[in-house]
Structure 1
Amino acid sequence: MTDKTIKMVLKFVVPAGKAAPSPPVGPRLGQLGLPIMQFCKEFNDRVKDVKDGIPLTTKIYAYTDRTYEFRVFTPPTSHFIKGCAGVDKGANKPGKEIVGTLPLKMVYEIAKYKKEHDVRLKHMPLRGLCKMIVGQANNMGIAIKR
C-alpha cells in the first residue's frame, strides 16, 4: 500500500476470470470515478491461474487521486463447504433441515488450505479454524459426518 489518501475501501466477491463492467464491479467503481475496464483487465490477468467462476473475495482501495490498488483473497469458506458437501446452496431453514453432509476430514482439509493461503487467517490456530468451519456448515444446514 502507498502513502496516498484512501477515499474508500470496497469489498466484494468476483468470480475468477469473469470481472466485467456489469454489476457488482462496474457501478461501484464508476461511482468513485475509477477506470472500470482497466480494473477488469488487471483482475482477470491476476487470477488467470484460478479456475474460471471460482468466487474470490476482493478488496479495492480507492484513493482520492482516482487510482486504486486491489488484493485478491481465497474463496469464501462457504464455497469450499458447499463443494465438499456436494450441494448448490445452504438450507432455507438452517437448524430445521439438513441439505448435505460434510466429512470431518474435509473440515480439516479446508482449514489447512485457508490457514496456508489466506493472510487474514495465518495466525489463527488450526483447531479454531476447524470450529469456525463446523459452525458455518451447521448454519448452512450441512451436517458434519464423523
Structure 2
Amino acid sequence: MAKEILAKIKLQCPAGQATPAPPVGPALGQHGVNIGQFVKQFNDKTKDLQGILTPAEITVFKDKTFTFIIKSPPASVLLKQSAGIVKGSPEPNRQKVGQVNKQQIREIAARKLADLNVSNLESAMRIIEGTAHTMGLKIVD
C-alpha cells in the first residue's frame, strides 16, 4: 500500500549550500521532517551545481519521511548567468542590460525542457526568449 501524503513543499535553495536556517528549517519543521537529513541529501545531490538557485519539490508522508525531486534552475537565473549580468532591467522595454544569442537560448531551453509545459524544443525556446525579453535582454543571432 502506498504511503499517505501529508504535504508537498516547494523550496528554492542555493545548490550545495542549503542550511537549516530559513526558509528550509521552518518550511520542513512544521511538518515534522528531519531537517538535517534533508539538508545533507539536498547538498549531496546538488553539489555539481554549486551556488545556483535550485528548486526542490518535497513530498512529506504521514510517517514523517520524505522524498524530493530536484528541478532545473529558473530560466531567469540561467539567462543572467549566460548574459553575465547581476539582475534584469528595471524597464525592459526601454533599457536593455545585456544580450544572449540563439545558441545560448537553445541550451537553456534544452536544459529546462523537462520542467516546462511543452513537448518540443522550439516551443521551449520561445518561452525562454519571452523570459529574456521581460528581463531586458537583447536576443542576437
Segments of 5+ residues of structure 1 without an aligned counterpart are none
**Divergent runs of 4+, >4 A:** none
Please give the per-residue CA displacement for 1:48-68, whole angstroms capped at 9, x wherever unaligned. 3x1320121100001122111
Q: In structure 1, what is the Cα distance between the partners aligned to 2:32 and 2:82?
A: 40
Give how far 1:135 is off. 0.3
User: With structure 2 as the length reference, what TM-score do the two structures score?
Assistant: 0.91
Please give the per-residue CA displacement for 1:105-140, whole angstroms capped at 9, x wherever unaligned. 21112222333xx3x349621110110000000111
Give how far 1:70 is off. 0.5
Are the equivalent residues in 1 in contact too, given 2:5–2:62 (CA < 8 A)?
A: yes
Please give the per-residue CA displacement for 1:10-42, whole angstroms capped at 9, x wherever unaligned. 112111111110111111011111111111111
Equivalences, count: 141
Deviates more, 1:129-138 or 1:102-111: 102-111
Structure 2 residue identity aligned to 1:125? N
Structure 2 residue identity aligned to 1:89? K
CA RMSD of aligned residues (A): 1.7
Q: In structure 2, what is the Cα distance between the partners aligned to 1:121 and 1:134?
A: 13
Q: In structure 2, what is the Cα distance between the partners aligned to 1:123 and 1:93?
A: 28
Segments of 5+ residues of structure 2 without an aligned counterpart are none
- The 1:43–1:125 alpha-carbon spacing in structure 2 relative to 1, beyond 3 Å, is same
Q: In structure 2, what is the Cα distance between the partners aligned to 1:86 and 1:45?
A: 27
Partner of 1:137: 132
Are the equivalent residues in 1 in contact too, given 2:72–2:111 (CA < 8 A)?
A: no
User: With structure 1 as the length reference, what TM-score do the two structures score?
Assistant: 0.88
